Structure 1
């Protein structure tokens, strides 16, 4: 996490447009977003102190300064929480240094039983790196024709960012890529394995990943509707719901439901069921 607090503050400073905080936008402005001096004025801190924070030479700001910076940067709830966690991590590391547990690669038998119980809805379990650890038969029938399971260790983040087929399968590929990178960054929390994974993605994918990673996103919706061009049944609109297990190192269950009648019929065909077996959800 060395330097992460300062890098996060800098990324958010560069994302705020002067007009958003009532400042004039000059033609000679060369830096993206706010200047350091402008943020210092808005947050009522010295430029020297803000410089030390952004350069990682001061990593333990007071709660009052964090709140002032968050207000000045117009941070949403997710960014405020992430900023607080970064400051707390720096403080606790000096009091109780230690390594984060290894990335989980297995799921509990009861979690597998839950997957099996979801007989009609595609569902799968991810770890904090986006590895697909377990899935049910409906998801296998949905995802295998896409190419997700071609490798020996399926990973949703890697597939979306590095496999060219993903751009064809997902009409909203850019938003899906944003989502996957945000989830990866949100769950990072100083994990060396996540940083190593991000470095491999950067070498393999390049700008489509690095530009998203450098923005340090942390907001990823846990529910929504996603389009999918399926090679066997055509365009589907799938509602997804994400449930995180409290005691399993950020493992999370993702369940897909049909968002309209046409998608319900398409999923029925994939599963070899008679039409009308699934009902679409509102939204």
Structure 2
């Protein structure tokens, strides 16, 4: 096996892309199949010298931005983008055996985790696996997101709902930002060769097109684990929420908690859940 799989992969893909596919004139007397190094470097916005070092294995630490630019320039498929990330991980010293030993894909939450989440009632909180399946939730979470259609299927999934249900787009005034965050979680929190990520990515590329695929291809965006989120709720009206993400790395899961950012939202959530006034207290906006 080559000790320069990243460089071999890049060179192979460069030679497989025709100038026409990259939007370049074919020219004459081309001595190499596909793109010249100078052409790929220009398309990706990097120097020819740096691309040469990557292909020859003399530089094994490309940034996420460089990988994303190369993937775009080479017109890589989703599956090839996952392979590029894996080769980059191994090139910078990651052990592929260790990478493969990531927590298994799960569709249930441990009893202790469910018990902890239940203690967060009446706050809207849920346990998610790495592809966004909802494994457990509080009643508060169900009453907040149920009217948006999230639980209309037997296996509710945040990403699938966001990209395929029109009610989700209407509910989030900052839909693009929510989409950026959820796709970044999918891409960055899972092992690079996770078949479940690849399967969901292929599905959403078919159903949502470029809105999903372009985000999935952008390696430079990292997930935000805290922040503000506004929801135009069909029953409770406008809601200003804070969210916190608690990672469970040994399980390949995370706990997502929403809290009211102001008193009006706290009162609206109380009415939505049917609880007494003051059951949820406003936390204040994130900085």
State the TM bucket, normalised to the shorter chain.
Answer: 0.7 to 0.9
Is the 1:260–1:280 contact (alpha carbons within 8 Å) kept by the matching residues of 2? yes
CA distance in 2, matches of 1:256, 1:119: 11
Cα separation, partners in 2 of 1:85 and 1:230, compared to 1, 3 Å: same
Show the counterpart of 2:131: 129
Aligned to 1:39: 46
- Which residue does 1:256 correspond to in 2? 258
SS in 1 for 2:150: coil
How far does residue 39 in structure 1 lie from its aligned partner after superposition? Answer: 2.3
Aligned partners of 2:64 and 2:219 also within 8 Å: no
Let me know the Cα RMSD of the aligned residues: 3.5
Contact between 1:179 and 1:221, CA under 8 Å: does it hold in 2?
yes
Partners of 1:222 and 1:97 lie apart in 2 by 23
Deviation at 1:122, TM superposition (A): 0.6
Summarize the Cα distance change of 1:217–1:154 in structure 2 as closer, same or farther, 3 Å threshold.
Answer: farther
Check conservation: 1:185, 1:217, Cα contact below 8 A. Answer: no
Q: Residue 78 of structure 1 aligns with which residue?
A: none
In structure 2, the CA distance between the partners of 1:124 and 1:94, relative to structure 1 (3 Å rule), is: closer
Cα distance between partner residues in 2 of 1:132 and 1:210: 22
**Alignment map for 1:133-172 (pairs within 5 Å):** 133-172=135-174
> Any idea what the Cα deviations from partners look like across 1:205-227, whole Å, max 9, x if unmatched?
11111121122344111100100
Mark the CA change 1:110 to 1:215 in structure 2 (over 3 Å): closer, same or farther. Answer: same
Whether the 8 Å contact between 1:126 and 1:132 is mirrored in structure 2 is yes
Calculate the TM-score normalised by the size of structure 1.
0.72
- Structure 1 match to 2:88: 87
Counterpart CA distance in 2 for 1:72 and 1:230 is 36
- Larger deviation, residues 125-134 vs 101-110: 101-110
Q: Distance in 1 between matches of 2:247 and 2:126?
A: 12
Q: Which residue in the other structure is 1:49 paired with?
A: 53
Cα offsets for 1:118-167 (capped at 9, x unmatched): 12211001001100010011111111111000011000011011111111
Distance 1:37-1:155 versus aligned 2 partners, 3 A rule: closer
How many pairs were matched up? Answer: 237
TM-score by length of 2: 0.72
Q: Are the structure 2 counterparts of residues 3 and 204 from structure 1 closer, same or farther at C-alpha, using a change threshold of 3 Å? A: farther
